[in-house]
Amino acid sequence: MPELPEVEVTRLGVSPHLIGQSIEAIEVRQPQLRWPVSEQLQTLVGQVITGVSRRAKYLIIETAAGCAIVHLGMSGSLRILPKDSPAEKHDHVDMTLSNGQVLRYRDPRRFGAWLYNELPLEGHALLEKLGPEPLTDDFNAHYLKAALKGRSKAIKLALMDNHIVVGVGNIYANEALFHSGIAPTRPAGQISIKRLETLVEQIKRVLADAIKQGGTSLKDFTQSDGKPGYFVQQLSVYGKSQQPCQNCGREIATIKLGQRATFYCSRCQR
């Protein structure tokens, strides 16, 4: 599933092709995605795209008449193609632009979304209860300490709770906890403010590094694949079960937390 850096790189990749363009048509070939594709999206036809923003893993295509809220789901991708490009089996939504291009949404598993909403977005059911963005100043150790107070759930599960902070998915939670020296199973409410300061710093670092690495592949959005993919990264623990820890040499352990694979070093993380 695309995580926050992949979604942010998607935003960076498609934005230059969208902003300032008029929407000439929106064609929906498959209306049954995670939720039915909003018929109100047709309200956007004839409107100029004024911005492309992101909230958590939702992309927001903005116009004066409202916006399209796009979620990539588990297998979705966006591509920029010439508007006469033939559609393939899993190409479900086209947004045709005045520059002769089309923003095409592909989703083999159909677990994404295309929804309409008026601007501003405050109060939208999908967005109103989300936590802060991890790369903003609102996400800091003092906020996190207050949000975790009294919680006995494992810190890794807390980091993946979008009500606490958005977009820290499985890969980046594993990595940030390793570099913070915090065991993923440690009760969230029992971590000191000093250790949370380190954790917040590492979350911001690993996410920013992933976005930066993905920025080198922006040309992919005008090619047939259209996916930035999971960037070539120097991952320290994720996916490295039974390999030696880069710090101490102990074998990386793997457990399941919340049905997700969790990788950590039992010596370096406590």
- Beta-sheet strands, E only, within 3-151: 23-28, 51-55, 58-63, 66-71, 77-82, 91-97, 101-106, 113-117
Rounded percentage of the chain residues whose pLDDT exceeds 90: 79
Q: Is 109 annotated as ligand-binding?
A: yes
What's the average model confidence in pLDDT over 134-149? 98
Q: Is 186 annotated as ligand-binding?
A: no
Question: Half-sphere exposure of 117 toward its Cβ, with a 13 Å CA cutoff?
Answer: 19
- Spatial neighbors of 25 by CB under 8 A, at least 6 apart, are 45, 94, 95, 96
Q: CA–CA separation, 261 vs 249, rounded Å?
A: 21
Catalytic residue IDs? 2-3, 57, 260
Q: Has residue 217 got a pLDDT over 50?
A: no
Give the model's pLDDT for residue 227.
57
Q: Is 90 annotated as ligand-binding?
A: yes
Q: CA–CA separation, 163 vs 174, rounded Å?
A: 19
Overall fold of domain 141-264: Helicase, Ruva Protein; domain 3 (1.10.8)
181-204 tens-digit pLDDT: 999 999 999 999 999 999 999 999
Q: CA–CA separation, 66 vs 6, rounded Å?
A: 25
Q: Give the torsion through C-alpha atoms of 31, 37, 41, 45, to 10 deg.
A: -30
The closest alpha carbon to 237, from 216, 256, 262, 217, belongs to: 262
Task: Give the model's confidence band at 213: pLDDT under 50 very low, under 70 low, under 90 confident, else very high.
Answer: confident
What's the average model confidence in pLDDT over 142-154? 98
Task: Return residue ranges of the chain for CATH 3.20.190.10.
Answer: 4-117
Q: Has residue 28 got a pLDDT over 60?
A: yes
Q: Specify the pTM.
A: 0.88
- Spatial neighbors of 13 by CB under 8 A, at least 6 apart, are 78, 80, 218, 220, 221, 228
CATH number of 4-117, picked from 3.30.230.10, 3.40.50.10470, 3.20.190.10, 3.40.190.10:
3.20.190.10
- Spatial neighbors of 195 by CB under 8 A, at least 6 apart, are 180, 181, 182
Task: Return residue ranges of the chain for CATH 1.10.8.50.
Answer: 141-264
Task: Give the model's confidence band at 214: pLDDT under 50 very low, under 70 low, under 90 confident, else very high.
Answer: confident
The closest alpha carbon to 79, from 223, 216, 229, belongs to: 223
Q: CA–CA separation, 242 vs 2, rounded Å?
A: 25
Give the model's pLDDT for residue 203.
98
Q: Tell me how far the alpha carbon of residue 182 is from its chain's centroid.
A: 23
More confident residue, 42 or 75: 42
More confident residue, 230 or 189: 189
> Do residues 178 and 268 touch, judged by C-beta distance below 8 A?
yes
Q: Does 120 sit behind a cis peptide bond, omega within 30 degrees of 0 on the bond before it?
A: yes
What's the average model confidence in pLDDT over 9-33? 96
Q: How far is CA 137 from CA 56, 129, 142, 238, 240, in A?
A: 15, 18, 11, 27, 32
Give the model's pLDDT for residue 226.
57
Q: Has residue 122 got a pLDDT over 80?
A: no
> Helix, strand, or coil here: 240?
coil
Q: Has residue 207 got a pLDDT over 60?
A: yes
Of 58-62, 201-205, 212-216, 226-230, the poorest mean pLDDT is in 226-230
DSSP run (H or E) holding 172: helix 170-180
75-91 tens-digit pLDDT: 889 999 999 999 999 99
Give the model's pLDDT for residue 125.
87
What is the per-residue DSSP string for 59-80?
Answer: EEEEETTEEEEEE-TTT-EEEE
The closest alpha carbon to 44, from 59, 18, 62, 71, belongs to: 62
Tokens of 70: 């796009």
